[in-house]
């Protein structure tokens, strides 16, 4: 038995090193993953978007408003003079509060943070977040000591296309070789484009380009962008394939999920600036789609996008799905195979619009939007929140779940609960890696864990472990809940963003960034801060 176990470990290690350094390198171009050997491609491919060409009317924008993500809804409401969303008054009063770890300006509202760590020099860490409400900008703060300190001299405000435009939903990622930092965000003017800016990977405050439009609104409204960068070749020397997704709300009242890809650092895009339509709902009712994310894969050419789908029982009612699409040719539907699948099917129940009890606190439904991670074997992890009870008004307004599987039809197992309790848990972020020394793969899920009938929240995480395998999902062992935040934060009556973010680089450090409200005076104080922590998990 002992000899058999040693041989098994030796075989796994041989597979890993024959494919290159599994922690940092892509597998060979065109190589079929073991888990995809018998996968059946979808009968039909997604279609390239055909813009309607009709401008968005104010009336249609107001109709879409309740379905927009939190940051976009704040901007649209402010520009249209709307004072309430979903029957709750909005507060655009000046912000007050104390300085925070990442940003020292106490007169602005910092939230909805993204995080990236340079994969070849983990001393360089970028936190990218909102800087509201006076000019609705997005700011990137840079640390050069691994996240121990974020000096306010090391920052950059990301440019917008025209004076008076607003920024929302910031996302930052590094190229796999560490030479380029990519900033993705919404540029909200008359409508909204999704733009990307490249920066020097070793000085992410040094911007190399003006905003590049990766998805054009063409009269619609584009919301909730996310981006990712993955190896484009098998040499480990490429800047990577760049992927982006967003939600389309159009002038006819429809909604859909858009995708785009670039294999030349974002200079040109596979689908121009129109995008590939992965999902569509006529009239955006009864089915609503929102909150998409793309992610690359260690197997060269593979990319997956996943998103929230309300199902036909309607928005924030009953069950919902997490639907996904994969492609094995860097997102090119004409050169590769397409795979459509449901990672989470019929999840009960949808989150309420506002955090309970009785919708007392901040916008909450964005917690159903998936956070994605892929480990070094190609296994996909999907973290999200769902309401474990059918009552949208009670204190138990959400639990956090983790689904996992191969990014192909039939590749997923049922989600497991990660964050539970008598109060609410939500806004999860997941990251993952494999370790050739322990022959294990690890997933890390951080999330908001609420206290005192949801009046306060902490940031916590749990670590999942599975045997490393290229063909078996295996069982998942979950470690205990570990508290990250030092002091509990007050919940907000309105808006704290839709997401937090995390990163793990080769197991050396686990980084988490979140919206923190530990220094405010109560739920009605709208000041938000951005906090960060890193440690060996």
Q: How open is the CA angle 139-222-141, to the nearest 5 degrees?
A: 10
pLDDT at 32 over 70: yes
The long-range contacts involving 464-467, CB below 8 angstroms and separated by at least 24 positions, are 464/402, 464/418, 465/440, 465/441, 466/379, 466/404, 466/440, 466/441, 467/439, 467/440, 467/441
What's the mean pLDDT in 440-459?
98
Residue 309 three-state SS: strand
Residue written as token pair 């939903």 = 169
Among the ranges given (52-61, 300-309, 379-388, 405-414), the one the predictor scored with the smallest mean pLDDT:
52-61
Supply the mean pLDDT for the chain: 89
Rounded-to-integer distance, Cα 185 and Cα 168, Å: 6
Contacts of 18 (CB under 8 A, 6+ apart): none
For the chain, give the number of residues.
Answer: 537
Quote the pTM value: 0.93
Torsion of CA 478, 424, 95, 184, to 10 degrees: 50
pLDDT digits (tens, 9 = 90+) for 54-106: 889 999 999 999 999 988 998 898 888 888 888 787 754 433 333 234 443 45
Distances in Å between the alpha carbon of 377 and those of 299, 300, 466, 507?
8, 12, 12, 15
Rounded-to-integer distance, Cα 381 and Cα 370, Å: 9
| Closest CA relative to residue 511, chosen from 431, 400, 428 | 431
Rounded-to-integer distance, Cα 403 and Cα 286, Å: 25
pLDDT digits (tens, 9 = 90+) for 243-256: 999 999 999 999 99
User: Confidence class of residue 537 from pLDDT cuts 50, 70 and 90?
Assistant: confident
What's the mean pLDDT in 434-446?
95
pLDDT digits (tens, 9 = 90+) for 407-426: 999 999 999 999 999 999 99
Among the ranges given (11-25, 252-266, 417-431), the one the predictor scored with the smallest mean pLDDT:
11-25
Residue 355 has φ and ψ, to the nearest 5°, of -65, 130
pLDDT at 451 over 80: yes
Rounded-to-integer distance, Cα 60 and Cα 58, Å: 5
- pLDDT in the model for residue 239: 64
**How many CB atoms sit inside 10 A of residue 187's CB?**
24
What's the mean pLDDT in 327-344?
96
Please report, in angstroms and rounded to a whole number, the separation of the first and last CA atoms in the chain: 32
pLDDT at 131 over 60: yes
- Tell me which DSSP letter residue 211 carries: P
- pLDDT in the model for residue 30: 55
What's the mean pLDDT in 224-237?
77
Contacts of 193 (CB under 8 A, 6+ apart): 161, 186, 187, 213, 215, 216, 217, 222
Alpha helices by DSSP H, 85-210: none
Rounded-to-integer distance, Cα 21 and Cα 383, Å: 27
- pLDDT in the model for residue 107: 55
Strands (E), 389-528: 399-405, 412-419, 425-435, 440-451, 456-467, 477-478, 482-483, 489-490, 501-505, 509-516
Alpha helices by DSSP H, 279-415: none
SS3 letters for 35-97?
HHCCCCCCCCCCEECCCCCCCCCHHHHHHHHHHCCHHHHHHHHHHHCCCEECCEECCCCCCCC
Contacts of 157 (CB under 8 A, 6+ apart): 131, 137, 138, 139, 140
Structural Rg of the chain based on CA atoms: 21
């Amino acid at each position: 038995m002992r000899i058999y176990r040693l041989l098994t470990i030796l075989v796994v290690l041989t597979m890993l090193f024959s494919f290159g350094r599994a922690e940092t390198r892509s597998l060979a171009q065109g190589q079929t993953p073991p888990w995809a050997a018998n996968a059946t491609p979808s009968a039909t491919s997604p279609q390239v978007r055909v813009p309607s060409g009709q401008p968005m009317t104010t009336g249609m924008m107001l109709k879409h408003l309740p379905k927009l993500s939190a940051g976009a809804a704040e901007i649209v409401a402010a520009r249209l003079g709307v004072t309430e969303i979903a029957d709750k008054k909005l507060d655009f009063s000046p912000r007050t509060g104390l300085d925070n770890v990442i940003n020292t300006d106490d007169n602005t509202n910092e939230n909805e943070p993204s995080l990236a760590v340079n994969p070849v020099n983990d001393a360089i860490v970028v936190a990218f977040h909102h800087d509201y409400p006076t000019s609705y900008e997005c700011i990137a703060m840079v640390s050069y000591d691994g996240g121990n300190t974020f000096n306010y001299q090391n920052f950059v405000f990301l440019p917008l296309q025209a004076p008076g435009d607003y920024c929302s939903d910031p996302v930052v990622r590094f190229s796999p070789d560490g030479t380029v930092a990519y900033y993705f965000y919404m540029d909200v003017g008359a409508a909204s484009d999704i733009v990307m800016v490249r920066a020097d990977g070793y000085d992410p405050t040094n911007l190399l380009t003006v905003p590049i439009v990766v998805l054009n609104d063409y009269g619609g409204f584009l919301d909730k962008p996310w981006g990712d960068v993955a190896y484009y070749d098998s040499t480990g020397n490429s800047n990577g394939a760049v992927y982006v997704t967003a939600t389309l709300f159009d002038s006819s009242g429809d909604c859909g999920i858009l995708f785009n890809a670039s294999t030349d650092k974002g200079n040109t895009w596979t689908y121009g600036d129109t995008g590939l339509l992965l999902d569509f709902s006529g009239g955006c009712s009864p089915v609503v789609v929102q909150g998409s994310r793309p992610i690359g894969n260690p197997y060269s050419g593979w990319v997956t996008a996943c998103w929230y789908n309300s199902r036909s029982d309607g928005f924030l009612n009953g069950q919902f799905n997490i639907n996904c699409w994969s492609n094995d040719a860097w997102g090119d539907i004409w050169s590769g195979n397409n795979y459509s699948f449901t990672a989470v099917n019929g999840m009960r129940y949808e989150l309420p619009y506002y955090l309970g009890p009785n919708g007392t606190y901040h916008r909450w439904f964005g917690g159903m939007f998936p956070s994605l991670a892929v480990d070094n074997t190609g296994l996909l992890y999907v973290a999200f929140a769902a309401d474990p009870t059918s009552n949208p008004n009670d204190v138990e307004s959400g639990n956090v779940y983790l689904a996992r599987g191969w990014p192909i039809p039939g590749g997923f197992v049922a989600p497991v609960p990660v964050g539970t309790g008598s109060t609410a848990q939500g806004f999860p972020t997941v990251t993952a890696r494999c370790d050739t020394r322990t022959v294990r793969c690890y997933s890390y899920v951080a999330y908001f864990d609420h206290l005192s009938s949801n009046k306060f929240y902490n940031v916590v995480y749990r670590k999942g472990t599975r045997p490393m395998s290229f063909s078996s999902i295996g069982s998942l062992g979950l470690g205990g809940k570990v508290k990250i935040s030092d002091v509990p934060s007050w919940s907000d009556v309105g808006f704290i963003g839709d997401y937090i973010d995390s990163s793990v680089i080769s197991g050396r450090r686990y980084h988490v960034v979140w919206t923190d409200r530990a220094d405010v005076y109560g739920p009605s104080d709208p000041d938000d801060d951005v906090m960060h922590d890193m440690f060996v998990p």
